[in-house]
């Protein structure tokens, strides 16, 4: 699990914009979180309680940051593997197959030439 420092978070409390009557209109139950290093923003107003919304918003934010980091690592690993495959020497059978295919292709091209006037 990824650890997010409290100093990296920007937290605001906003009035909810959903139905809920007087309680929702009086209190700032909606929580807005922003992770400064990645720029990921989360807004949570699922519950009427501000404390519960804070907890839920943090969970959502951790999930998003984690998926971003793990996705980046997977892409880097994939790129390294691709380069490694490109640099690997071909087996003798693979080289022979490539040469055989080239000969067949060149023969096809040679047969396409229209006969000249002799």
Name the band, by pLDDT with cuts 50, 70 and 90, for residue 20.
low
Name the band, by pLDDT with cuts 50, 70 and 90, for residue 1.
low
- 95 within domain boundaries: yes
Domain total in the chain: 1
Cα 103 from Cα 95, distance rounded (Å): 12
User: Which pair of tokens denotes residue 58?
Assistant: 């943090």
The candidate with the shortest Cα–Cα distance to 13, out of 44, 46, 56, is 44
The CATH code of the domain that includes 68 is: 3.30.160.20
The whole domain housing 52 covers 6-111
Cα 59 from Cα 13, distance rounded (Å): 17
Cα 23 from Cα 18, distance rounded (Å): 11
- 47 within domain boundaries: yes
Q: What is the pTM of this model?
A: 0.59
């Amino acid at each position: 699990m990824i650890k997010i420092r409290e100093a990296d978070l920007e937290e605001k409390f906003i009035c909810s914009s959903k139905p809920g009557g007087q309680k929702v209109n009086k209190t700032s139950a909606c929580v807005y979180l922003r992770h400064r290093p990645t720029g990921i923003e989360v807004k949570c107003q699922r519950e009427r309680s501000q404390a519960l919304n804070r907890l839920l918003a943090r969970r959502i934010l951790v999930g998003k940051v984690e998926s971003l980091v793990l996705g980046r690592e997977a892409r880097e690993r994939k790129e390294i593997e691709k380069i490694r495959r490109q640099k690997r020497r071909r087996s003798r059978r693979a080289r022979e197959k490539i040469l055989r295919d080239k000969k067949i292709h060149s023969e096809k091209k040679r047969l396409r030439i229209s006969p000249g006037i002799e």
